[in-house]
Amino acid sequence: MTAMDPFRLETERTGQTPGIVTLWLDQGDRPVVVLDHDLVQRLETTLKTLPQNAEGLILASAAPRAFVAGADLSAIAQLDNDQLHKYLQYASRVYAMHCDLPYPTAAAIHAATLGGGLELAMHCDGLIACPPDSKPYPVGLPEAGLAICPGWGGTNLLPARMDPARAIKMTAEGKPFMFDEACEAGLFDEIAPTQGDLIETARAWIRAQPKITRHSGTPSRWIGCKPFAAKVLEALDAVRPEITSPQGLAVCEAIDTGLAKGWAAALQVEQEHLVRLRNQPAGKQAIQQFFERSAKKA
């Protein structure tokens, strides 16, 4: 398996044309998927092979313990500023490829979906989830808990998929939801009865969607869309006085920028703050403590 090997595609056939295509993320025998540079390259390679006449795309994960566990924190900690900016910008371009597909897309979420993993999922039109097989799984944007901030649009995506005030506060505090909380918050567009029903539920959701109108490289559901902008601005004004941490203020600035200047400008602000914050003592310490906790669990 190399960075240039495409992911497995499972393609339905409707006569002579493809129906709904399922793209299966994996990293070999690893129990989780992590968004390192090689995985993003494989995703780019695979997206370039998708048929343009398909009925839809399901983004799924073959990893048993996570849809996607998040970004590669070792890269965030170790790359120099220029390298980190390039990594963030490159992944943003690959994520945006979902937003240019001429048919509906859905992320099929079966387990932990965190940070960059949720941002990737939210570049799809729909979020389809299933109950956990055993213990509840987390879904959310935990970056602020590591004294950094999202870098792939999360600040501008989550408030368009649920109550915006709650989304902003959770992002500014770095607190993910557990599955039941995410369901109660209305984060998911559809919930499958079981994990075994997840892909078919996603297919049914895609088939029920109207024709998609795309805006080049921009997700179909983000705070700049007319149905959400006014409510997000009102929510931001309401919760901003409660947000005082450097990473929380970065989240607020990215939301302000998205509402005032658009999607690309918001991404730039997020990524500039992420690079800046990971260089601060609080960011370095929080990321190092994360690695230490992970080593103890191994």
CATH number at residue 292: 3.90.226.10
- Structure confidence at residue 298 as a pLDDT band (50, 70, 90): low
- Structure confidence at residue 187 as a pLDDT band (50, 70, 90): very high
Report the number of distinct structural domains present in the chain: 1
Q: Is 179 exposed, middle or buried (0-12, 13-18, 19+ CB in 10 A)?
A: buried
**Model-wide pTM > 0.85:** yes
| Encoded tokens for 136 | 């509840």
| Encoded tokens for 15 | 């006569």
With respect to residue 230, please indicate whether it lies within any of the assigned structural domains. Answer: yes
pLDDT tens for residues 230-243?
999 999 999 999 99
Q: Which of 109-123, 139-153, 213-227 has the lowest mean pLDDT?
A: 213-227
With respect to residue 1, please indicate whether it lies within any of the assigned structural domains. Answer: no
Residue 205 has pLDDT above 60, yes or no: yes
43, 79 Cβ separation under 8 angstroms? no
Q: What is the rounded average pLDDT of the residues 84-105?
A: 96
Only one residue has tokens 């992590």, namely: 34
Only one residue has tokens 């649920």, namely: 162
Q: What is the rounded average pLDDT of the residues 187-199?
A: 97
Q: What percent of the chain has pLDDT over 90?
A: 84
Residue 1 has pLDDT above 60, yes or no: no
Q: Give me the pLDDT at residue 14, please.
A: 66
- Structure confidence at residue 214 as a pLDDT band (50, 70, 90): confident
Residue 193 has pLDDT above 60, yes or no: yes
Q: Give me the pLDDT at residue 32, please.
A: 87
With respect to residue 2, please indicate whether it lies within any of the assigned structural domains. Answer: no
- Structure confidence at residue 217 as a pLDDT band (50, 70, 90): confident
* DSSP structural state of residue 100: G
With respect to residue 248, please indicate whether it lies within any of the assigned structural domains. Answer: yes
> Does residue 216 sit in helix, strand or coil?
coil
With respect to residue 3, please indicate whether it lies within any of the assigned structural domains. Answer: no
- Structure confidence at residue 28 as a pLDDT band (50, 70, 90): confident
Residue 3 has pLDDT above 70, yes or no: no
Q: Give me the pLDDT at residue 48, please.
A: 96
- Structure confidence at residue 215 as a pLDDT band (50, 70, 90): confident
Other CB atoms within 10 A of residue 99 CB? 20
Give dist(CA 6, CA 39) in Å, integer: 10
Residue 24 has pLDDT above 80, yes or no: yes
Q: Give me the pLDDT at residue 255, please.
A: 98
With respect to residue 251, please indicate whether it lies within any of the assigned structural domains. Answer: yes
Q: What is the rounded average pLDDT of the residues 247-253?
A: 98
Residue 271 has pLDDT above 70, yes or no: yes
Residue 264 has pLDDT above 90, yes or no: yes
Give dist(CA 144, CA 131) in Å, integer: 26
- Structure confidence at residue 211 as a pLDDT band (50, 70, 90): confident
- Structural domain of 150: 8-297
